[in-house]
Amino acid sequence: MNRPRGRQPRRQARSNADAPAAIGQRIEVTLERLTHDGRGIGRWQGRTVFVEGALPGEQVQARVVRARSKLIEARQEQILQASAERQPPRCRHAELCGGCSLQHMPHAQQLEIKQQALAQQLQHFAGVQPAQWTSALQGPAYGYRQRTRVSVRWDGRRQALEVGFRQRASNDLVAVQECPVLVPVLQPVIAELPALLRSLASARDLGHVELIGTEQPALVVRHLGTLDAADQQQLAGFAAHHGLALWLQPGDESSLHCVSGDNSEPSYSLVDQQLRLSFSPGDFTQVNAEINQAMVNQALDWLALQPGEQVLDLFCGIGNFALAMARLGAQVTGIEGSEAMVLRAQHNARINGLEALHFFSADLSKPLELPADSPSYTAALLDPPRDGAEQLVADLAALGIERILYISCNPATLARDAGILATKGYGLVRAGVMDMFPQTSHVEAMALFRKH
C-alpha cells in the first residue's frame, strides 16, 4: 500500500553516546584492569576500550586505532594520571617498535599477567586447571635475546635504504640505534649495522639481515642480486670487527654459505647435560639461552624418565630435547617435518656420542604414522608451532601414551588441545609459564598430562 503524501515522520537523531568512535579520534579513558596481552581495559561512552601501553588505575588520552559497535582499540598517547607501577622504558624506540610492548610494566607484573592468561585460556577453552601450578621460569629481563632479524627495504622515491624493525601495527620500519633485549655481543652491531648496509653499492638488492649471538656469533645477509667484491669485503670487515662469521644467502636456505670468519656452523650448549648442538643459520632455535636450559631441565624433571624408557619427541627440531632425554638413558624417537632439520638432529646425536637415537621426517599436522616395528612408547614430548597439535594429541591418546609433556607458544591452542586430552582420559598434572620473551606479551608454557 502506498504511503499517503504529506508530512514525513522525523527520524530520531542518534545520540552522541550511540555514535561510534572514529578512527584517529582522541578519547580520555580510566583503566581498570589488564588483558592477557598487557593492554589496559576501561570504558568510554558505554563501550569497552582496550588501550595499548596503559596500566590499571591510569587516566590516559588515547587515539582510536579500531572501532566496532561495542569495542574500541586505542593506543595511549598522553598519561593524564600515571600509575605508581609505571616505569620508564629502557629502549628509546619502545613507543614505536613492535617488539617489546611491556617495557612500561614491572617484570613481576608481566609474569603475573602471563600466568593469568594461561589459566584463563585453560579454563575457557578446556574447563581444566592443573593439579599444581609451578613458578614461572625466568631469567634476565634484558640482554637475553641471541637472535634477531633486521628488516631492510629500498625506498625508490628517496633512493635510500630503510633499515630497522617493524613498527607496531604497521608495515613501516623503525630505524633503531639500540635494542636492550639483545645479548651484549649484538648491542654494538645493531647500532652500527644500518650505516654499513646503506653504504653498500648493492643496497637496493638486500633482502634481510639476521644477527646470531650464540657461541659462534654470525651475521647473515640475504641478498636478491649479486654482491660485488667490494661489498663482500665491507661486510666481511664489519663482521670481523665484531667477532662475527659472515654468511650469505643469495637464494633459498640451501644457498646459505659462510664466506668469512669461523667456518664452523653456529652452535649452543646445554651445559647441564654436557651437550653441544650445532645448527644452520636458517634453523629454528630458542632465542633465550638461559630459559632454554631451564626449560630442558624442567622437562626432564617433570617426565622423570627411566633408563631404557621409550619416548617420542615430536617437532624435535635439531634435537634440543631429544639429546637431553637420551643423555639420561631414554630411548628416543624424534620426528620433525623438515628433512634438513632431521639431518641436523642426526648430526648432533653423532657429535655428542648418542648415535642410538632415531630420527625421521613426517608431516605432524596429519595423522601420526609410526613404523610397524615401533616400540611401545610410554612418554611423549611435543613442541608444536603456534597452531598447536589438534590431530597429534588425539593420536597420542589413541596410542595410550602414559605421560604427555606439551611445550606451547600459544596458550589458546594449548588450551584447545588440553580439552581434547581431557576427553580422552588425561589429567593436567602440572602447568606453568616460561618467560622466554621478557618485555613482550608472548606467553610460553609447559604442561604435563597423565593418563588416568
Q: What is the C-alpha to C-alpha distance for residues 294 and 83, in angstroms, rounded to an integer?
A: 33
Residue 331 β-bridge partners: 310
Give tens-digit pLDDT for 147-159. 999 999 999 999 9
Q: Which residue segments constitute the domains of the chain, with CATH numbers given? A: 24-86 (2.40.50.140), 111-140+288-451 (3.40.50.150), 147-260 (2.40.50.1070)
Backbone dihedral region for residue 236 (phi beyond 0: left; psi -120 to 50: alpha; all else: beta):
alpha
Residue 271, pLDDT score: 98
Query: Catalytic site residue 100?
Result: no
Give tens-digit pLDDT for 330-374. 999 999 999 999 999 999 999 999 988 999 999 999 999 999 999
What is the average pLDDT score of the chain? 93
Q: What is the C-alpha to C-alpha distance for residues 153 and 160, in angstroms, rounded to an integer?
A: 9
Average pLDDT of the segment spanning 27-39: 92
Q: What is the C-alpha to C-alpha distance for residues 257 and 305, in angstroms, rounded to an integer?
A: 39
Does residue 14 surpass a pLDDT of 90?
no
Q: What is the pTM of this model?
A: 0.91
Residue 11, pLDDT score: 46
Give tens-digit pLDDT for 172-198. 999 998 999 999 999 999 999 999 999
Residue 13, pLDDT score: 42
Residues near 366 by beta carbon (within 8 Å), at least 6 away in sequence: 391
Give tens-digit pLDDT for 424-436. 999 999 999 999 9
pLDDT band of residue 19 (cuts 50, 70, 90) is low
The answer to whether the CB of 28 falls within 8 A of the CB of 61 is yes
Q: What is the C-alpha to C-alpha distance for residues 32 and 83, in angstroms, rounded to an integer?
A: 11
Strand spans (E) along 82-198 = 132-133, 147-155, 160-166, 173-174
Residue 74 β-bridge partners: 51, 64
Lowest mean pLDDT among 43-57, 124-138, 253-267: 253-267
Annotated active-site residue in 91, 179, 258, 409: 409
**Which H or E run includes 399?**
helix 390-399
